Every structure is written in structure tokens, then in C-alpha cells.
A and B are shown apart, each in its own frame.
Chain A
Amino acid sequence: MLSKLYSATIFGVDAFIVEVEVDIRPGLPLFNIVGLPDTAVQESRERVRSAIKNSEFEFPMQRITVNLAPADIKKGGPVFDLPIALGILAANGQIKSNLLDKLLIIGELSLDGRIKPVNGVLPIALMVKNLGKKKLLLPQTNAKEAGIIKQLEVFPVDSLYEVVEFLNGKISIEPVFVNTKDIFTKSNDNQIDFTEVKGQEHAKRALEIAAAGSHNVIMIGPPGSGKTMLARRLPTILPSLTLEESIEITKLHSIANLLPPDTPLITDRPFRAPHHTISNSGLIGGGRIPKPGEISLSHNGVLFLDELPEFSRRALESLRQPLEDGIVTISRSLSSVTYTSSFMLVASLNPCPCGFFGDPVKTCTCSSSQIIKYRSKISGPLLDRIDIHIEVPRVNCREVMEKNSIENSCTIRKRVERARIIQRERFSEDNIFCNAQMSKKQIEKYCQIDYNCKNLLYKAIEKLNLSTRAFDRILKVARTIADLEQSENIKISHLSEAIQYRSLDRKLWLY
């Protein structure tokens, strides 16, 4: 008596189908799972045994062999509990259904037969859609996550008993559909707003440009000048997500088990602010079978590194390649996984350890060797990859507190959205979303500048000693500024504003 069902598991960001074959032969009771199962899968034997008994079904006292195919890929996690239990019941004749080979089944069992939620449902649902299968049976809590994919019939189930009744045709289950429009129109009222930051108009303008083109930003200034406050308010002016971006983000969060319950899709751009004690693999991703790190979790969103020089040098330098490529490949002896990590880096730092170097009022107490040591944490190559450098100076208290007419986040966001729409139209054939993601070829195509502009740029590069990468970055920022002003061509004013955002390249290192 043999039964065959389909389940799935995750490898990296993508899912693949696993055939679960269950064979029951006469003999002394034995329950074996083969096909490279890891410990969690081996332990599912005990869960399956108890769940079947406690759901008032008969657990066969015979030789049971479960095979998970393909047999050469290591399989982990508790997703196979439900398919194994159903396979046993089907091989034993307690389920008679022609639905079994049309379904894809995932779910973890508890000892009393209830079905618990699992990780990585969205990637599995996407894979099911791509393979042309239609039906998915999964835990109630995960149902909404899969329900956003329109072409699928998603059956939510709560207990083993319910599943068997359903398969035997005794009860019917309503498939779950989630309307993605409803999710996106939900109002997101922010607790924080840009009006709370008084003064620092120059920094706000720079952040607006950064948000519009998804450019990397570094903020430098004395303590208490508002760097962290500005960064925390950045998500309130970021453009809203498209469905594709949202699915990409949700996939990564689903794998990392960070999806809040009852949230089928992440609709806000992620804002991750890891503490500076973060390890290298915590930032980049890692583990024996690599899991996504902070840079992947902030994909399509913001990664905020407060007090940049406090981070370990190794962790910072490992940011270089993902910043450039938008993806990160983590290789371990067992496997190699590529995660998307197209994030916007926002960093803040003080000019020196005491924080007051260059301050007009307070005197800096650091020795020059201390300052050199502090700043050497941020290497030239890393700084080179950051498009916009903002100086956030100390503000005059009286002057600032009496200022009133400030723009709120909503107005800024509208301008940002408008710039993004222009970009999306421009890149409709290029498979990218914003200016910061442009490749060299695309820069040449979309960032044409006239003779005067070229002259200015060459002069700036000579005078400021900029690298060729900085040259490309300036063009990208200039393109964004032009988009914000809805200008089709990059004008000399856009270019000169972009150039002045490279201030850190030289000024900071002169002392």
C-alpha cells in the first residue's frame, strides 16, 4: 500500500517541490523517514504518531517507510508533518480521495492534532503558481499569506481531523482569497512626522532627494543635532510600495519568520536599525544553511546604521559588495544562497570621538591621533559608495524653536512619489525601480548632459579628486534632482547640487 503526496520546502529564497511517498508493509512496527531529513524532520515521527492517535484515527502497527524525494537535497523544518500524517492515513485506507495528488500540502502538527503555522509560505505559493498547480492546503494562520496570489485555490485548515473529513468529502472548505487592493489602501498613520524636526532644512532637502532616488546617505554632525531624529522620520517620506516590491520583501520576511501574524503582505518599507554590536553574519546573512541578514531584511527599504564608526570594521567592509550589486551571495560548505539586498543605506556619525570637532561653540577634546583612528573605521571604498553626504550642524536653539512654517511628511512624500513615477516609467523595460539601481549602461543612456555640464563635472572631479565611481554617483543624484523638478534633462543647477553632496570626500579629511 503506497501513497504519494506533494509538499514543498525552502532553499534560499526559492521553494522546490518535495514528493512525500509513504509505503506500509506488513511486519513489526517500524517508522522510518529517508531522503536526507534533518533532525526536525526525524522528530516529526513522534508528532505524527501522537497526532494521528489523538485525532481518533488508527496508527498502523506495521512497517512504515517515508521517502522524501528528491533524495539528494537536505530537507529541514516541520513542514512535512502534515503530508506525512496524511500519507500514512491514505496508505492505510483511512483517506480515500482523488484530490491528494492535486494538492500541495504543508503544515506542522502538534501532538493533539492541531495544525501550526510554518515559515516561508509565500515563496512556496509563488512556486506552486509557476508550476501551474492550483490547489494549496496549509495552516489557517498562513492562509492569507498565500491568498494574495490570485491564481491559487488556498484551503486553510485547523486540525488533522478537519483535513481528513475534507479529503473524504464530508465537509467543504472555502478557499481563501485576499484582495491586494484592500491591503494597500489601508491608511498608515505615522506616529512621527518631519514637522517635529526644527531647522536642518538643508538635511531635509538632501533626505528628500535620497528618498526620491533611493540613494545612500551619510549624515555627519555633533551629538544632539538631529541625525537620528531625521533618519527615523525617513520612512514617512518614502514612496509607497508596488505589489512586486511588496512581494519581494514579504518573501524574505517569510523565510526569516519575521512576518507578523495576520499580515499577508508587508505594505510599509522596511526600516531596520541594527545595534552596532551586530556580527558580520547578522548583517550580511549566514548560518550553516544561510538565512537572510539585516541587509536583505531591509531590501527595498532603509538600513540605518547609527554611530557608523562603532560598527566592527569587518561588518562595514562586507557591505561594499551588496551596496554595489543589490544582491548578496552567501557561500557555506553545505550550500550557496543568493539573497536580494537592494537597500538604501543611511548612516550617521560624529566628526570625532567626543563629537565636537569643527563645532563653532564647544571645543573638541580629542587628540588628532584619536580622530584619525575614529575616522579610519570608514574606509574610502565604503564612502565612495555613498551618494549623498550631509553635514548636520548644531542649530541655534532660539532660532529653531520659533520657526513654524515647516513642511510635513505628507507634502514631501507627494513630491517623492511624483519623482518615483517618472523613474518607474523610464525604467519600465529595464527591470529596476529607481535611479540608484541604474547600471553603467543605463547611466549612459538616461543621464545625458550637455557641454557646459560636462565641463563643470570634469572640473569638479579634478579639483575634488573624485573617483570614477563618484562620477557615476553624481550623475545618478543629478538625475534624481532633475526628476524631483520634473525636468527631462539634467541641468547645470541639478548637477551642481549633486556635486556639493560629495563634501565628505575631501573636507572631512583635511585637518
Chain B
Amino acid sequence: MSNIGKIGEEAAFKYLEAKGYKIRERNYRTYLGEIDIISEHRGNIIFVEVKTRSSNKFGYAEEAVNSIKQKKIIKNALCYLNRYHLWRINSRFDVILISISNNKTIKGIKHIKNAFCLDSNNSPFN
């Protein structure tokens, strides 16, 4: 993983902790892919994808979490829920966007709650 990505994930981790989120896993990895952060907040399981960008030259960070990426995250999340038998708990998918400047300082954090859900575009079942 690139350096910029690590800085971003660290920033997101600190941001969530400060907001009172309990972090369950970081970089949860299976053969299906990786989830950056899995946390718990007010009885919900929250799967977080962190995107870090130093410029918008190649499109917005929001656009980088496309349906293919979403599908991977969803599959992985189902794996996690199955493993710990968490089916009765509500869960959601968040995206945290971090923009950093050239000298690696954090410029801004944007937290999109409930950024996507299972629908026909990203369902792993079809």
C-alpha cells in the first residue's frame, strides 16, 4: 500500500475514535479483498472504506468507490458478519474521503454515512 493511503487511513482511524466509534478491525483481509475499518457505533456495525486523494486531477475521490469496489466490500462484509454471527445487528457502509496536500498534511475529512447499500448495481448475488 502506498504511503499516502496509510496516512489517510491513520487519519480516518483517529477521526472515528474521536467521534466515539469503537474500532473492531483494521484492514480486515480475506481472499475476497480488504475492508479498511470495521467499527461499532450505537449498536450498528459500520464498514468503512477510506479514500485518500492529493488532487482531483483524475476524478473525485467519491467516484473512485465505484460499483466494482462496492461489490468487493459487500462480499467481504457478508463474510465478516457470517464469521461472528452478527446477522441480527444492523450494519451500514460508510466512506471517508481524505484530501491531503503535497507535504502530507491533512487538508480535509469528509464522512459519508450510509454511502451505499445493496442494490441492483452492486449486488454480489447477480
Chain A residues within CB distance 8 Å of chain B: 26-30, 61
* A29-B60 in contact (CB<8A): yes
* A28-B95 in contact (CB<8A): yes
Instruction: Beyond A28-B62, A30-B116, list 20 extra A-B contacts (CB 8 Å).
Output: A26-B112, A26-B113, A26-B115, A27-B112, A27-B114, A27-B115, A27-B116, A28-B65, A28-B70, A28-B95, A28-B112, A28-B115, A28-B116, A29-B60, A29-B62, A29-B63, A30-B121, A61-B60, A61-B62, A61-B63
The chain A residue with its CB closest to the CB of B110 is A61
* B116 partner residues in chain A, CB cutoff 8 A: 27-28, 30
List 23 A-B residue pairs with CB atoms under 8 Å apart, sorted by A's residue number.
A26-B112, A26-B113, A26-B114, A26-B115, A27-B112, A27-B114, A27-B115, A27-B116, A28-B62, A28-B65, A28-B70, A28-B95, A28-B112, A28-B115, A28-B116, A29-B60, A29-B62, A29-B63, A30-B116, A30-B121, A61-B60, A61-B62, A61-B63
Report the bound CA distance from A29 to B61 in whole Å.
Answer: 10
Chain B residues within CB distance 8 Å of chain A: 60, 62-63, 65, 70, 95, 112-116, 121
The chain B residue with its CB closest to the CB of A32 is B121
Secondary structure of the A contact surface, majority rule: loop
CB distance from B105 to the nearest CB of A (A): 23
- Interface Cβ pair total, 8 Å cutoff: 23
Report the bound CA distance from A30 to B65 in whole Å.
Answer: 11
Report the bound CA distance from A27 to B62 in whole Å.
Answer: 9
CB distance from B7 to the nearest CB of A (A): 22
Report the bound CA distance from A30 to B95 in whole Å.
Answer: 14
Central interface residue in A27, A28, A30, A61, by most chain B CB within 10 Å: A28
CB distance from B34 to the nearest CB of A (A): 18
CB distance from A497 to the nearest CB of B (A): 73
* B62 partner residues in chain A, CB cutoff 8 A: 28-29, 61
Report the bound CA distance from A26 to B62 in whole Å.
Answer: 11
* A27 partner residues in chain B, CB cutoff 8 A: 112, 114-116
Report the bound CA distance from A206 to B115 in whole Å.
Answer: 77
CB distance from A318 to the nearest CB of B (A): 44
The chain A residue with its CB closest to the CB of B63 is A29
The chain B residue with its CB closest to the CB of A61 is B62
CB distance from A485 to the nearest CB of B (A): 74
Report the bound CA distance from A188 to B65 in whole Å.
Answer: 63
* A28 partner residues in chain B, CB cutoff 8 A: 62, 65, 70, 95, 112, 115-116
Report the bound CA distance from A61 to B116 in whole Å.
Answer: 13
CB distance from B109 to the nearest CB of A (A): 15
* B115 partner residues in chain A, CB cutoff 8 A: 26-28
Report the bound CA distance from A38 to B63 in whole Å.
Answer: 25
Report the bound CA distance from A27 to B63 in whole Å.
Answer: 11
* B65 partner residues in chain A, CB cutoff 8 A: 28
CB distance from A61 to the nearest CB of B (A): 5
The chain A residue with its CB closest to the CB of B115 is A28
Report the bound CA distance from A292 to B97 in whole Å.
Answer: 54
Report the bound CA distance from A29 to B112 in whole Å.
Answer: 11
* B114 partner residues in chain A, CB cutoff 8 A: 26-27
Report the bound CA distance from A27 to B92 in whole Å.
Answer: 12
* A26 partner residues in chain B, CB cutoff 8 A: 112-115
Report the bound CA distance from A30 to B63 in whole Å.
Answer: 9
Report the bound CA distance from A30 to B60 in whole Å.
Answer: 13
* A29 partner residues in chain B, CB cutoff 8 A: 60, 62-63
CB distance from B104 to the nearest CB of A (A): 24
